Amino acid sequence: MCQVAPSTPPDSPTPPTPDGPVLLLAPHGWRVPLQAGLSLMESAERAGVRLVRSCRNGTCRRCLCRITAGEVSYRIDWPGVSAEERAEGWVLPCVAVASRDVTLLVPDATRPLAV
Task: Divide the 115 residues of the chain into consecutive groups of 10 and give the mean pLDDT of each group.
Answer: 35 54 96 94 95 90 96 85 92 95 96 65
Model pLDDT, residue 43: 96
Model pLDDT, residue 113: 54
Q: Which residues of 76-109 are buried (b: 16+ CB within 10 A; e: fewer)?
A: eeebbbeeebeeeebbbbbbbbbeebbbbebeeb
The architecture of the domain spanning 22-105 is Roll (3.10)
The CA distance from 10 to 75, in Å, is 32
The CA distance from 27 to 29, in Å, is 6
**Global pTM value:** 0.80
